[in-house]
Amino acid sequence: MKQSEISCHHYVTSCRQSETMMIQGTIPLARADGVPVEVQRGMHVVTSDAMTIGMVAALVLDAHCQEVTHLLLCRLPETAVYRHIPLDLIIEVDAEAIHLNIQANMLETLPIHQPNTLHN
C-alpha cells in the first residue's frame, strides 16, 4: 500500500467543508518500514515521556486529497479542548495506544481544533 492510500472504515460528520472526521482508518507512519497501521477512536495517546494525555477522538481526512492529515486528541472529561496531532509526531501504534514523539509538557503547543480552520 502506498503512503497516499488510506483504508477508511467509518465516517462521522465534520463541521468543516474541506475535511471529514473518521472514527477508524489506516495511516502511514514516518518510520523506516513505512508500514501502515490501523488507528481507531478511543485509542490512548502516550507522549515520549510515557504520559497518557488522552485518547483519539477522530482521524482528520482532507477531503481534497483524501489523506489523513491529523488525529483529533480528546482529553475528556478533564477538558473539552480538542487538539490536532500531526501524523509525523506518531512514532508507534500498538493494539491499545498511539505513542508520540512529544513530551506531555509540550501538548499545549499543538493547534486547537477550530471547526472552520484547517491545520497543516
First CA to last CA across the chain, in angstroms?
Answer: 23
- Mean of the pLDDT values across residues 2-25? 55
What pLDDT shows up at residue 36? 87
Query: Residue 62's beta-bridge partner residues?
Result: 19, 67
Q: What is the percent of the chain where pLDDT is above 70?
A: 77
- Mean of the pLDDT values across residues 28-44? 85
The angle subtended at Cα 94 by Cα 2 and Cα 39, nearest 5°, is 55
CA distance 21 to 63: 10
- Which has the closest alpha carbon to 58: 20, 21, 26? 21
Grid cell locating 82: 480538542
CA distance 21 to 19: 7
The model's pLDDT over 68-85, given as tens digits with 9 standing for 90+, comes to 999 999 986 656 788 999
What pLDDT shows up at residue 6? 33
More confident site: 101 or 12: 101
Amino acid identity, position 64: H
Domain edges within the chain: 8-109
Is the per-residue pLDDT at 108 higher than 70? yes
Helices (H), the chain: none
- Mean of the pLDDT values across residues 13-32? 74
Is the per-residue pLDDT at 13 higher than 60? no
User: φ, ψ for residue 115 (rounded to 5)?
Assistant: -55, -25
Is the per-residue pLDDT at 4 higher than 80? no
More confident site: 60 or 11: 60
More confident site: 119 or 26: 26
What CATH number labels 8-109? Answer: 3.90.50.10
